[in-house]
Amino acid sequence: MRGRTLSLDTLKRQHKLTCVASGRCVVSGDPVRISIDLAHPDTSAVVWAGVFNGRESDVTMIEGLLGESVVRAITSAIFEFELRRSRAQLSLGSGLNTVSLK
């Protein structure tokens, strides 16, 4: 979606998203700073934000240390968000059906 401005609602509807990532990369000579936010498309609430510092040479390689750090952090944030969301849904319906797994 680079270079396009779409609302979170449009993105959710078109792509069935549970989280939307947005960010920016600031290059100031060799130091590089990447800022990323994950937002919930229903509420536009930021559910996670991270800032990563690295070198200019790391930006173009997803396999590099900077790319690995970004992917690992986003993956973990989405997992934690989905886990909290699932637990909240379970607790809302906990009085309706009780299943015991042994």
Q: Among all chains, which residue has been given the structure tokens 């200019």?
A: 56
Say how many domains are in the chain.
1
Q: Is residue 85 part of a domain?
A: no
Q: Is residue 52 part of a domain?
A: yes
pLDDT digits (tens, 9 = 90+) for 53-96: 888 777 666 667 787 888 888 889 888 888 888 888 777 655 54
Claim: this prediction has a pTM higher than 0.85 = no
Residue 1 domain-assigned?
A: no
Does 24 map to a domain?
Answer: yes
Segment 38-58, tens digit of pLDDT: 888 788 889 899 998 888 777
What is the Cα–Cα distance from 64 to 33, expressed in whole angstroms? Answer: 15
The answer to the question of residue 89 being in a domain is no
Q: Which domain holds residue 12?
A: 8-75
27 found inside a domain: yes
Report pLDDT for 99. 43
Q: How many residues does the chain have?
A: 102
What totals of helices (H) and strands (E) does the chain contain, helices first?
3, 3
